[in-house]
Amino acid sequence: MYRHSFLTLIIVLASCNLDAQEFGTSISIHDKGKETYYVEGFIAGLGTVDFLVDTGSSYMTIDEEALKILKTKNQVRYIKDLVGVMADGSSKVVPLYIIDQVTVGSQCILYNVEAAVLPAKTRYILGLSALKKASPFAIYTEPLPKLVLSHCSMQTLYEH
């Protein structure tokens, strides 16, 4: 009986360890007011950016200015146009591109991330097209706000 219980405990602890490894990358997020959370990121060919973390957005977003820079550095590929429903309920046709490499925080690298391109100068949004690549993911607001990601390719920001 004792031996059986001990073996069960080892199996439970081993499975807990596997679950903990899935959530391997913890990234500090900061609140810029109005309960909007941002993480630092890096887009290969563009540089360091602040991403608004938005699980209500289907796609990561960049603006037209960023697209121009990424095109000159061959870091994006056009996919198609899509009809996007904006936060105010209006519809807009926007181009969808694949960005070769996006880093969230200083070490979670995501490859081939779909990004919608919004007109004019706008904030960068870290939407579900990026977050799904690092799923499962979690957002914690207490005690310290953080975004926890899984399945990241690891590299330090300084190696870009």
Inside any domain, residue 6: no
Contact present, 13 and 20 (Cβ < 8 Å): no
Q: How far apart are CA 156 and CA 108, in angstroms?
A: 8
Residue 33 DSSP one-character state: S
8 Å CB contact between 5 and 82: no
Q: Is the dihedral of CA 45, 63, 104, 32 positive or negative?
A: positive
Range of the domain at 149: 24-159
Per residue in 113-154, pLDDT tens?
999 999 888 899 999 999 999 999 999 888 888 999 988 876
Domain tally, the chain: 1
| DSSP per-residue letters across 118-142 | ESSS--EEE-HHHHGGG-S-EEE-S
Residue 97 in any domain: the answer is yes
Task: Give the mean pLDDT of 96-123.
Answer: 93
- Examine residue 55 and state whether it is found in any structural domain, yes or no: yes
Residue 72 lies inside a defined structural domain of this protein? yes
CATH assignment at residue 138: 2.40.70.10
| Average pLDDT over the chain, rounded to an integer | 82
Quick check: is 114 in a domain? Answer: yes
